[in-house]
Amino acid sequence: MFEEIGTTTEGDLIINVGPQHPATHGVLHLVITLNGETIKKLEPHLGYIHRSIEKMCESLTYRQFIYVTSRMDYLSAHINNQACALVVEKGLQIEVPDRAKVIRVLMAELTRIASHELWWGAMAMDIGAFTPFFHAFRERETINDIMEETCGARLTMNYMVPGGVMQELHPNFQKKVKEFIKLFRLKVHEYEELLTGNIIFKNRMKDVGVLSKEDAISYGCTGPVGRGSGVSCDIRKLYPYDAYDKVQFDEVIETAGDSLARYMVRIKELHQSISIIEQLIDNIPEGDYQAKTKAVLKLPKGEFYQRVETARGEFGVYIVSEGGTTPHRIKFRSPGFSNLSALDKMARGSKLGDLVAMMGTLDLVIPDIDR
């Protein structure tokens, strides 16, 4: 079946990387045409973890469909939920209390740190360094504990609901987050000492998988991948939602477009996330954590779109409503799908060993690509 794919001149080797392979971190299937060690062509095959989440959402109410989105990009579960809550609030014109907005931003930034930490460890493991993975997971565990206290879950939190957040913050929340931030500032330096300055690491990353600004735009790359190529695409900055217009932070942009640039964007974003959390953690306004909403939500007839910045890039929710209790049509714009599509462009002409470095810095979460 796979022999037909690609331009197979004499002597080319066709390799199936995946669906079960240590580097794909999930059930992604890449068909690679190799000439020796050099990649001539790369074709991603999807569908191994397709659960038709969009179709499922069409038969769920506006309160229920949010929970399914935690299962897409499970590392940015909070932020996916946030996007869905925001689009419903937009449709019903619900005024969200300030307290809820700030809590949402705090949770989203903690999620971003947790996600970047997992990426850092997994990417290091891809290029052959095993130890960073354990160092990254040590701090990620602390975030999971904080999430567990407030949301009751560690991975699929389902904390954001239309109108605010589901419940009040845990009394320990502020104290624990402050402790974590204090510790984490030191740990980021430790991460950089362990990996960023390493000469082998730099050689593996520099000028590998270069994606020009034009290509990044035409492939629709967003998030750290787009910003690594010099595209200004931080939704938090360009189209602020919730409390992002109240905080000061920089949009991290690198212009090199190679794997090292994408790596540096994420490391610098960790610092930005820390600063956002520090600005908000002592200034959580008093008030309700949830606006009063009707028991049954019915979006008016029309089309609604909301985009947010997840750890991987721009995540969009598009809802077509016929005025019923469930969405008539729903479409998610997931960042991973667009970022993956640029992989072929990046990989052509580079060595097989570079492929894992590129995939590592694309930060692919397969259930996000393949919904």
Partner 1 sequence: MWSFSNIAGSIQNWLNQTFSPTWSLVMQMIIAGIAVISLFAVLGLILVLMERKVSAWMQIRLGPNRVGPKGILQTFADTLKLLVKEGLTPAGADKLLFNLAPVLALVVGMLLMAPIAFAKDFQLWNLNIGVLYVSAVSSIMVISILMAGWASNNKYSLMGAMRSGAQIVSYELSAGLSILTIVVLCGSLNIPDIIYSQADGWWIFKGHIPAIISFVIFIIAVTAETNRAPFDLAEAESELTAGFHTEYSGMKFALFFLAEYVNVFIVCAIGATLFLGGWMPFHIGQWQSFNHVMDYIPSSIWFFGKTFFLIFLIMWFRWTFPRLRIDQLLNLEWKYLLPISMINLLLVTVIAILGWHF
Residues within the interface to partner 1 (CB under 8 A): 13, 15, 21-23, 37, 124-131, 133-135, 138, 195, 198, 200-201, 203-204, 351-356
CB of 194 vs partner 1, minimal distance in Å? 8
CB of 253 vs partner 1, minimal distance in Å? 26
**Nearer to partner 1 among residue 29 and residue 99 (C-beta):** 29
CA dist 321 and 330 (Å) reads 9
**Nearer to partner 1 among residue 36 and residue 323 (C-beta):** 36
CB of 303 vs partner 1, minimal distance in Å? 43
The long-range contacts involving 9-16, CB below 8 angstroms and separated by at least 24 positions, are: 11/35, 12/40
Distance of CA 256 to the CA centre of its chain: 21
- Secondary structure class of 230 (helix, strand, coil): coil
**Nearer to partner 1 among residue 194 and residue 291 (C-beta):** 194
Please, are residues 139 and 125 in contact by the beta-carbon 8 Å criterion? no
CB of 223 vs partner 1, minimal distance in Å? 23
CA dist 74 and 147 (Å) reads 14
**Nearer to partner 1 among residue 126 and residue 234 (C-beta):** 126
What residues contact 306, with CB distance under 8 A and at least 6 apart? 83, 86, 87, 90, 241, 316, 317
CB of 140 vs partner 1, minimal distance in Å? 13
CA dist 360 and 216 (Å) reads 17
- Secondary structure class of 232 (helix, strand, coil): coil
CB of 364 vs partner 1, minimal distance in Å? 13
Sign of CA dihedral 140, 146, 151, 154: positive
**Nearer to partner 1 among residue 21 and residue 154 (C-beta):** 21
**Nearer to partner 1 among residue 13 and residue 155 (C-beta):** 13
